Structure 1
Amino acid sequence: MTVSEPAILITEVWDTVRFQELPPLPLVRHGQVEAWVRRLLEKAPGLFQGEVVGHSVEGRALHHVWFGSGPRHVLLWSQMHGDEPTATTALFELFEYIRCYREHPRVEALRSELTVHALPMLNPDGAERFQRVNAQGIDINRDALRLQTPEGRTLKALRDRLQPCLGFNLHNQDWRTAVEKTRKPASISLLAPAFDEARSDNAGRVLAKKVCAVIRDALEPLIPGQIGRYSDAFEVRAFGDNIGRWGTPTVLIETGPWPTADHDEAQRRLNFVALVSALEAVASGKAEEADVGRYESIPLNESKGLLRLVVKGAQVFGEAGDAFTADLGVAASPAVRERAGQAVAVMAGEIAELGDLRVFGAFETVEAEGLTAVPLPPGALKEGDTVPLPPRKDCTVRVGHPAELMLLRPDGRPEMWRVERIIRFDR
């Protein structure tokens, strides 16, 4: 499949406005967001407007930034889960696009037809800790009815004030999420959430489905087979579902797993292309012309269907008994850890599956027939070293153990083994 012209253009534009020398996305904190907001309002005071629209539990400002003068209002919010950071940076790259290309006909049309509002980093206290919930320990996205979180009350009040025609709920999803049947990573998943138990359609939800179709068509040439769709079962507590019930249809964009070390950049680019494509389609009216069938035919997500690494056919020692043949599956995802008193971003992994793993997708597969998998002992072992087999108590491999393993092959000398492969992810 060839990349369409709009996707090429938007991707090339992202290369000119993307942020350089960023910390890893898990380390983008509230202070960085405030610096970006200040910079934006200083550099383009007539183009962008901003206000502090609320505060988090711990008193961090919640910023509302907007541009455009169109009659239709669109609201985007990101990082209501503190450990889901991708779209926060992507939103500011979207703003940078608007700032740098303000006189381009595409941007002028967007600004004249829409007023675009954003509430980036809705959960700054959670972002500070790189955790899903806020400082109260509440999942903000399950607080739409009781409104016990100040962050949730802020989002509800802003929606009620603006009465936007469309909302964008921007998240990251589990790195084990696959596209059903293909077992490919669900790098982007989409949903037009239901607003009632019957999963009814009205004009607003149909528009949201069409916008999802636009996003699919923009991204599919870039990530063929890597777009999934969430189940539209109604979640009575969730903001996306309830905002639809209150009169604003929403589009859920979930950023998922990416196979290479440059995942931060790749994921931001996908978000940028998705958001620009969607906003332009809404502004121009092309969203109304989109084929709903392109949304309905997006394959569903497969939860827990993907692994970072699969070791196939190794000899493994369980908690009891002799060694047996099994596949080992490692799940890994971005995380934040304290190292020497500083927060650092890591790819943390653990053994997530053990047994016959033929039904799972994986970024990497290691053929291990004739090898024995055992936990990696402390020390400075390297591949090619020769070691004795550890005592039986130190050979046990279990689900939930750290993904720190060595694959051993008999050396030919009694009780000596060669280290063929070392597998090590952060704890």
Structure 2
Amino acid sequence: MTTALILSALLATVPASSYSAAAVPGPQALTTLWEQVHSKELPLPPLVRHSHVEKHLKRLHEKAPDLFQLEVVGHSVEGRALYHVSLGTGARHVLLWSQMHGDEPTATTALIDFLEYIRTHREEPWVSRILSELTLHAVPLLNPDGAERYQRRNAQGIDINRDALALQTPEARTLKALRDRLQPFIGFNLHNQSWRYAVGSTGRPASISLLAAAFDEPRSDNPGRVLAKKVCAVIRDALEPLAPGQVGRYDDSFEVRAFGDNMTRWGTPSVLIETGPWPSRTPDAPLVQLNFVALATALDALASGKAAQADVARYESIPENDSTGLVYLMLKGVGLFGADGKPFTADVGISVTRAVRDTGKGLAIVHVGKVNELGDLRVLGALETVDGGGLFAVPLSGPAAKEGDTLHLAQPKQHAIQMDQPAELMLLKPLEKASTYRIERIIRFER
């Protein structure tokens, strides 16, 4: 029997009467439920390490051994166990894997929270339906060596998500072998994306981007990929009330080496969820919530049959995201000094990435910023915009500078802002005395 016929047969086993029964809670209710089960023992996602994941998975198994099966399916380059947790008794198998890039951690926490929700709410009708209709398989942390360093690649320096064919990494071989053994009818490929992604040309942050991965160069459809599109449509409808205008569609160009594309080609159509920027200085909780809601809603839709009834157009009409359409901080219409010392007006765009550093007192998340856009930036969005009218932007004069200080700029050309310089700047207000300014604001990110 072909993959398409198998998929159609499996979908046909879902009773139509279950579509409306035991409805999953709405998006806002799910965020409240997430707050009830989210572990306060877990650090912020960038600081979650293999030891945290291992501890929580073992605890789940110990508390509900009849529900959770825990298996070590492989080991990383440096010998860390790769855990596979399974639950449910349904004939249709679902595979979810997270953090194949070590610096993309949001969904790992969301998966752990979702598993905890199932443990504590297994008697709820919609949860019970998921467990009876589906068998869930999760690998919450595929690249533990990369996570330990908070880096994209594994300890060999290889991008696991570009190793689906060569299979030179033990992590890739483990994921491929698990898929081949389980033959899941759908998969969820969970990632993070750069904070520069915007939703189309809207300037809005692409907090979540969705993709039904292609399986060939023409980006053809088959029943599996259509199902993945419908699942993305369900997720879109669940997330837009929580993040209006912040759901994008990821570029669906076929990548011959990537796991999502090859999973679809091998018969496991893949839903990619990319977590992106959030307009807050503390983005982790709302982004984990979005992933939790996405997983709960999507799995309920697969179990109940709602996914098969979803409108593909709701996926195809999602604006494609723009990988350079957003900056973290924009200084709008600010005065600058050129290399010739002459003033001019422009916008300044600052991009930010996160890093994890050892402070001597433990690991800490830092925001590394640089100037990466100068000029007329009206087509870009920003997580924060500062009106620079009447102000000048110059490099920070030194660590002792503080807001309210006055300074004299005798040679303005020495205070020009350059592309790619560290985002350590001052916003200055000109005073009556020539070449004298007051520091109105200091902008300082890590190098």
> Residue deviations 1:222-249, cap 9 Å, x none?
1111000012111111000001111110
Equivalent residue in structure 1 for 2:140, among 120, 129, 140: 120
Counterpart of 2:69 in structure 1 is 49
Counterpart of 2:179 in structure 1 is 159
Counterpart of 2:368 in structure 1 is 348
> Residue deviations 1:337-389, cap 9 Å, x none?
23237431012211110111111001221121222211112233221111222
Assess if the C-alpha contact under 8 Å between 1:71 and 1:113 holds in 2: yes
Question: Matched residues in 2 for 1:393 and 1:39: separation?
Answer: 61
Equivalent residue in structure 1 for 2:83, among 44, 63, 67: 63
Deviation at 1:312, TM superposition (A): 1.5
Residue 272 of structure 2 corresponds to residue 252 of structure 1: yes
Equivalent residue in structure 2 for 1:8, among 8, 28, 32: 28
Counterpart of 1:179 in structure 2 is 199
TM-score, structure 1 as length reference:
0.96
Q: Which is further off, 367-376 or 281-290?
A: 367-376
Question: Matched residues in 1 for 2:409 and 2:144: separation?
Answer: 48
Question: Matched residues in 2 for 1:14 and 1:342: separation?
Answer: 28
Where structure 2 has 5 or more consecutive residues not aligned to the other structure, the ranges are 1-23
Question: Matched residues in 1 for 2:35 and 2:430: separation?
Answer: 50
Residue 344 of structure 2 corresponds to residue 324 of structure 1: yes
Q: Which amino acid aligns with 2:201?
A: K
Structure 2 vs 1, CA of residues 248 and 310 (structure 1 numbering), >3 Å: closer, same or farther? same
SS at match of 1:325: strand
Q: Which amino acid aligns with 1:275?
A: L
Question: Matched residues in 2 for 1:65 and 1:368: separation?
Answer: 52
Q: Which amino acid aligns with 2:347?
A: D
Deviation at 1:24, TM superposition (A): 2.1
Residue 100 of structure 2 corresponds to residue 80 of structure 1: yes
Assess if the C-alpha contact under 8 Å between 1:319 and 1:398 holds in 2: no
Q: Which amino acid aligns with 1:169?
A: N
Assess if the C-alpha contact under 8 Å between 1:177 and 1:302 holds in 2: yes
Question: Matched residues in 2 for 1:207 and 1:149: separation?
Answer: 30
Instruction: Map 1:360-379; keep pairs closer than 5 Å.
Output: 360-379=380-399
Deviation at 1:275, TM superposition (A): 0.2
Counterpart of 1:303 in structure 2 is 323
Assess if the C-alpha contact under 8 Å between 1:375 and 1:394 holds in 2: no
> In the comparison of the two structures, how many residue pairs are matched?
424
Residue 433 of structure 2 corresponds to residue 416 of structure 1: no
Equivalent residue in structure 1 for 2:213, among 193, 198, 210: 193
Q: Which amino acid aligns with 2:119?
A: R
Q: Which amino acid aligns with 1:424?
A: R
SS at match of 2:352: strand
> Residue deviations 1:103-137, cap 9 Å, x none?
11111111000000000110111111111111111
Residue 233 of structure 2 corresponds to residue 204 of structure 1: no
Residue 306 of structure 2 corresponds to residue 286 of structure 1: yes
TM-score, structure 2 as length reference:
0.92
Assess if the C-alpha contact under 8 Å between 2:430 and 2:438 holds in 1: yes
Assess if the C-alpha contact under 8 Å between 1:328 and 1:355 holds in 2: yes
Counterpart of 2:335 in structure 1 is 315
RMSD, aligned CA? 1.5
SS at match of 1:277: helix
Q: Which amino acid aligns with 2:42?
A: L
Assess if the C-alpha contact under 8 Å between 1:347 and 1:425 holds in 2: yes
